[in-house]
Structure 1
Amino acid sequence: MSTDVRVPTLGESVTEATVATWFKKAGDTVAADEMLCELETDKVTVEVPSPAAGTLEEIVADEGETVGVDALLAKIAEGDAKPAAKKDDEPKAEAPKEKQPTEEERTGASSDEGKGERTDTEDAPSAKKLMEEKGLSKDDVSGSGKDGRIMKEDVLNALGKPAAADAPKPAPRAPVSADDASREERVKMTRLRQTIARRLKEAQNTAAMLTTYNEVDMGAVMDIRNEYKDLFLKKHGVKLGFMSFFVKACCHALKEVPDVNAEIDGTDVVYKNYVHMGVAVGTPTGLVVPVVRNADQRGFADIEKEIGDLGVKARDGKLSMADMQGGSFTISNGGVYGSLMSSPILNPPQSGILGMHKIQERPMVVNGQIVARPMMYLALSYDHRIVDGKGAVTFLVRVKEALEDPRRLLMDL
């Protein structure tokens, strides 16, 4: 008996993924719940476990191929069934027709690929079939798969674009000397990195983005941490960090300036009567933004625990789609890397993002005296289409006031 291995639900608004890595090959014995392959979406990496014990009979979707939700990835032969050959895009009864040289010529396969036999760099079968149906050649489609392999989505993209002669072409790369070229390495961007690049550029192109700055004396927060950190750890089992203070200060300010916690939907403004706080986290594969849901209703300990758990999951690549959906405002802490000042880019469709920076002692005038104080620059980037300058400045001042006198958070001032 054969059991299908299918693409699991990828999360809200995610309809496709790329097969990144197969951990097994056709003919391998697998155990139930053993990881078979890894799928890469534009937000997270998803591991696909084996639904049953047996033999990996057939791999349907190769590495680099784009698959939709519930698409067939492979087949598991339960028991001692013999593995079948890897499947082409057509049913087995159509295999001889699929491998005819004339069809390979029509899809633009080169003669050194071997009369219809597949190679690692051969275009995806679904892409070849679609190019045949639409009368496209390899020259009409730009491949985004491994080693320039043409995927089905590349063909769909080509069909939705004007003729190649009319399409704008990216500026060519500047010439590189042979000596330099031999020391370079070209690596295909992951789907996550491509999505980060696309979304950041869309934010710049779509939003009327401005940034306002202020600075905050972190002395009061540091004093509270030093006084209560041991007791806090003993009672709650988690360290008291800076991030919970910033989350609570932002929630406090968002109540007064709700525009910063809203988003534009067409000609409407959607105001959020809740705060789902996104906390930007750097990982080896790129920046991700897990969300602390209902942060405005949580205490310091609960926020610290949630941020700690999400940070570990982010570094281990275990974040789910649910962990990163629905954020209404974002905090980005460049200070952990030593940044003294920066202008964060909006996380669409949100209308505001707060940038934290390095705490540095600077000479400040306090009561007519020059003293050294632990200062941090704050930056609020906002969408001027919805947030006025007055609102943005007011928001940042309220954050500053709450951090310089945390008692205001307790008294809702």
Structure 2
Amino acid sequence: MWSRLVLVLRTSAAWGGLGLLIVLFIFEGLFRSSPPNIVPFLLMLGTFFAAMTAFSHIHRVRLIDQPVNSTTLANRHRRQIELPLDANAAFALIEASIRELPGAERVDSAADSLQVRAKINRIAPFQDEFWRKWPVTQWLTGGDNQIYATVSPGVDACSVMMICEPTRAGWTDWFLLDSGVNLENALALGRAISRRVAELRKNEKAAAQQTVTEKELTVAKLNLLHAQVEPHFLYNTLASAQILTRSDPASADHMLGNLITYLRHSLPKTEDTPSTIGVELERTRAYLDIMKIRMGSRLQVQIEVPDYLKPVLFPSMMLQTLVENAIKHGLEPQTGGGTIWILARAHENNVALTVADDGRGFSVEGAGTGIGLRNVRERLRLAYGNTASFGIVANFPNGVAATINVPTTFIQGEHHA
């Protein structure tokens, strides 16, 4: 209440005092005569219109912002906003918010000093087209406005100081009122900033949720690809063991022992427990021992894997998949069988694991469905992106050589050169 009364009295007194000084200067200073009787009436009329202007200003401020006090009634407004962003992101957000304000004509920004200045064309809320043509009327209604914003960097956040004010000098605030236009600009800018911050948070939350979803889909897809490899091998092994129990119980017992070893290495692991070349080699040895019982002297195996490479992280089941494909499509179709080579070599920051055979090679008769090799490529893409590769070429003089390249990453720092 007191702030409104003070504004009315201040504006009326300012205009009344200015009018009185003009009258005294003109009539007593220049003409050395007393003012005519109409002058007091004109002074009272001007004071009345000044008071009405103040009341109009108060009414509009109440419409814009319910709390009417000395801060909201002022022509110039300062806002301090804390943003949970780095300085560059906050500067871009402030600049974009100012550019979208109604009437923004000129926006000057300096990214290095984190400052933004803007001129805002004033849209007078109570001025019709007739009075808009008069320059004096335009000056009396306040003129254009401006916005000045500065971003102060912090550690985890930053502070933004904004000033919304008329372009005219500060002393004119005693005589001229802006009808709450700069208050409206300050509130609009605050809303724009809040909306943009909320949109950023929403996008970050959506991106995080998408990342979680993609990770879950990747894990599910890897599990599905993994599951596609094992069943037929297990069925064939159990069927072979069943047959051997009748004809060769000792071999059946040896086959079941290797199957137990194989299954022990194939038990599902937690997502954070990756496999290694050493673990995969043990699993593959058990698989090859089973196949040697089934194929006899038709299968020969040579393994050259340095001990220091065994702790290197390696996708589970991939080595066994390559060996299985080499036997099934390369050696088994041949009457005399053949040899499987498993080689591991380190090169710069990568490890190359090769499975080669001297079987039938890329022949029509030896070709399969290709599901196993497609699974290898897809799992490498999901697990490593572009940092891993898979290649398969003809072996000399016969057979096929398949190589998987993965980054050299040792489990738990076990690096034994």
Superposition TM-score tier, normalisation by shorter sequence: under 0.3
TM-score, normalized by length of structure 1?
A: 0.22
Tell me which of the two structures has the higher relative contact order, counting C-alpha pairs closer than 8 angstroms and 6 or more residues apart: 1
Query: Which of the pair is proportionally richer in helix?
Result: 2
Query: Which of the pair is proportionally richer in strand?
Result: 1
Q: Which has the larger radius of gyration?
A: 2
